[in-house]
Amino acid sequence: MEYKNRCHVMMVESASETIRTTPSNQNGVSSLSSQSDGGGGREGGSNGDTNGEISPVDLLHLQQQQALQAARQFLLQQASGLNSPSSTEVKQNPVQVPVSMAMMTPQMITAQQMQQILSPPQLQALLQQQQALMLQQLQEYYKKQQEQLHLQLLTQQQQQQAGKQAAKEQQMGNKQLAFQQQLIQMQQLQQQHILNLQRQGLVSLQPSNPMQSLQQAMGPGDLQQLWKEVSGVQSAEDALKQQQTGEGLDLSTNSTSSSYPKANTHSGLHGPMHSNSLHSPAHSGPAHSTPKRDRYKERARLFEWISSFSKADLGDEHLTPYSKGGPLSSNHYEEHTGSHPLYGHGECKWPGCEALCEDMGQFIKHLNNEHALDDRSTAQCRVQMQVVQQLEIQLAKESERLQAMMTHLHMRPSEPKHFNQPLNLASNGSLLKRETHPASTHTHTGVGPIRRRNSDKFCTPIGSELAQNCEFYKNADVRPPFTYASLIRHAILEAPDRQLTLNEIYNWFTRMFAYFRRNTATWKNAVRHNLSLHKCFVRVENVKGAVWTVDEVEYQKRRPPKMTGSPTLVKNMISGLGFGSLNASYQAALAESSLTLLNSQGLVNPSSAASLNMLHGMGHDDVSSTVEQVNSNGSCSPTLSPQQYGHQIHVKEEPTEVQDDSRSVSLMATVTHNMAMPSDRDDRDLDDDIPTEELE
DNA sequence: TCAGAATTAAACAGAT
DNA sequence: AATCTGTTTAATTCTG
CA distances from A526 to A516, A521, A522, A614 (A): 11, 9, 6, 36
Q: For residue range A317-335, what is the model confidence (pLDDT) as tens digits?
A: 222 222 222 222 334 444 4
> What is the phi/psi pair of residue A386, to 5°?
-60, -45
Measured from Cα to the C1' atom, the residue closest to B9 is A522
Tell me how far apart the alpha carbons of residues A138 and A90 are, in angstroms, rounded to a whole number: 12
Q: Which residues contact A357 (CB under 8 A, 6 or more apart)?
A: A343, A346, A347, A348, A363, A366
> Is A696 within 7 A of strand C by CB distance?
no
> Is A397 within 7 A of strand C by CB distance?
no
- Nucleotide nearest A559 (Cα, C1'): B5
3-state class (DSSP) for residue A648: strand
Q: For residue range A659-675, what is the model confidence (pLDDT) as tens digits?
A: 333 333 333 333 333 33
> Is A35 within 7 A of strand C by CB distance?
no
DSSP A252-294: TTS-TTTHHHHHHHHH--SHHHHHHHS--HHHH-GGG---HHH
Tell me how far apart the alpha carbons of residues A94 and A307 are, in angstroms, rounded to a whole number: 48
Measured from Cα to the C1' atom, the residue closest to B7 is A526
Distance A655 CA to C7 C1' (A): 17
The answer, yes or no, to whether residue A123 has pLDDT greater than 70, is no
- Nucleotide nearest A47 (Cα, C1'): C4
- The mean predicted confidence, pLDDT, of chain A is 48
Q: What confidence tier does A533 reach under pLDDT thresholds 50, 70, 90?
A: very high
> What is the phi/psi pair of residue A539, to 5°?
-90, 130
Measured from Cα to the C1' atom, the residue closest to B6 is A452
Per-residue confidence (pLDDT) for residue A467, from 0 to 100: 79
Per-residue confidence (pLDDT) for residue A136, from 0 to 100: 59
Per-residue confidence (pLDDT) for residue A155, from 0 to 100: 53
Higher per-residue pLDDT: A228 or A649: A649
Per the CB < 8 A criterion, the answer to whether A620 and A461 are in contact is yes
Q: Name beta bridge partners: A348.
A: A343
> Is A36 within 7 A of strand C by CB distance?
no
List bases, strand C, within 7 Å of protein CB: 2-10, 14-16
Least confident range of A365-369, A376-380, A615-619 = A615-619
Task: Return chain A residues 427..486 having CB < 7 Å to nucleic acid strand C.
Answer: 438, 441, 451-454, 457
> Is A528 within 7 A of strand C by CB distance?
yes
DSSP A347-358: EE-STTT--B-S
> Is A43 within 7 A of strand C by CB distance?
yes
Nearest to A547 by CA among A562, A563, A558, A531: A531
Tell me how far apart the alpha carbons of residues A323 and A325 are, in angstroms, rounded to a whole number: 5
Distance of CA A6 to the CA centre of its chain: 24
Q: For residue range A246-273, what is the model confidence (pLDDT) as tens digits?
A: 333 333 333 333 333 233 333 332 332 3
- Integer distance in angstroms from the first to the last C-alpha of chain A? 39
Distance A444 CA to C8 C1' (A): 39
Per the CB < 8 A criterion, the answer to whether A455 and A596 are in contact is no
Q: For residue range A197-224, what is the model confidence (pLDDT) as tens digits?
A: 444 433 333 333 333 333 333 333 343 3
Tell me how far apart the alpha carbons of residues A275 and A93 are, in angstroms, rounded to a whole number: 24
CA angle A470, A474, A479 (to 5 degrees): 95
3-state class (DSSP) for residue A537: strand
- Nucleotide nearest A458 (Cα, C1'): C15
Per-residue confidence (pLDDT) for residue A187, from 0 to 100: 52
Per-residue confidence (pLDDT) for residue A145, from 0 to 100: 56
Nearest to A402 by CA among A216, A217, A204: A204
- Nucleotide nearest A479 (Cα, C1'): B7
Distance A3 CA to B16 C1' (A): 12
Tell me how far apart the alpha carbons of residues A403 and A396 are, in angstroms, rounded to a whole number: 10
Measured from Cα to the C1' atom, the residue closest to B16 is A1
Tell me how far apart the alpha carbons of residues A100 and A447 are, in angstroms, rounded to a whole number: 32
List bases, strand B, within 7 Å of protein CB: 5-11, 16
**Arithmetic mean of pLDDT, A606-610:** 33
- Nucleotide nearest A46 (Cα, C1'): C4
> Is A506 within 7 A of strand C by CB distance?
yes
Q: Name beta bridge partners: A343.
A: A340, A348
Q: What confidence tier does A143 reach under pLDDT thresholds 50, 70, 90?
A: low
Distance A350 CA to C3 C1' (A): 40
Handedness of CA A210, A216, A220, A221 (dihedral sign): negative
> Is A583 within 7 A of strand C by CB distance?
no
Q: What is the pTM of this model?
A: 0.34
The answer, yes or no, to whether residue A275 has pLDDT greater than 70, is no
Measured from Cα to the C1' atom, the residue closest to C13 is A452
Distance A507 CA to C5 C1' (A): 15
Nearest to A262 by CA among A243, A278, A287, A281: A281
Query: Quick one: DSSP state of residue A500?
Result: B
The answer, yes or no, to whether residue A576 has pLDDT greater than 90, is no
Number of Cβ within a 10 Å radius of residue A240: 12
- Nucleotide nearest A450 (Cα, C1'): C14
Per the CB < 8 A criterion, the answer to whether A265 and A172 are in contact is no
- Nucleotide nearest A1 (Cα, C1'): B16
Per-residue confidence (pLDDT) for residue A373, from 0 to 100: 80
Tell me how far apart the alpha carbons of residues A246 and A190 are, in angstroms, rounded to a whole number: 41
Q: Name beta bridge partners: A549.
A: A538
CA distances from A305 to A142, A301, A317, A591 (A): 34, 6, 19, 58
- Nucleotide nearest A546 (Cα, C1'): C5
The answer, yes or no, to whether residue A598 has pLDDT greater than 50, is no
Largest CA distance in chain A: 105
Tell me how far apart the alpha carbons of residues A268 and A162 are, in angstroms, rounded to a whole number: 12
Q: Which of A26-30, A108-112, A184-188, A532-536 is the most confident on average?
A: A532-536
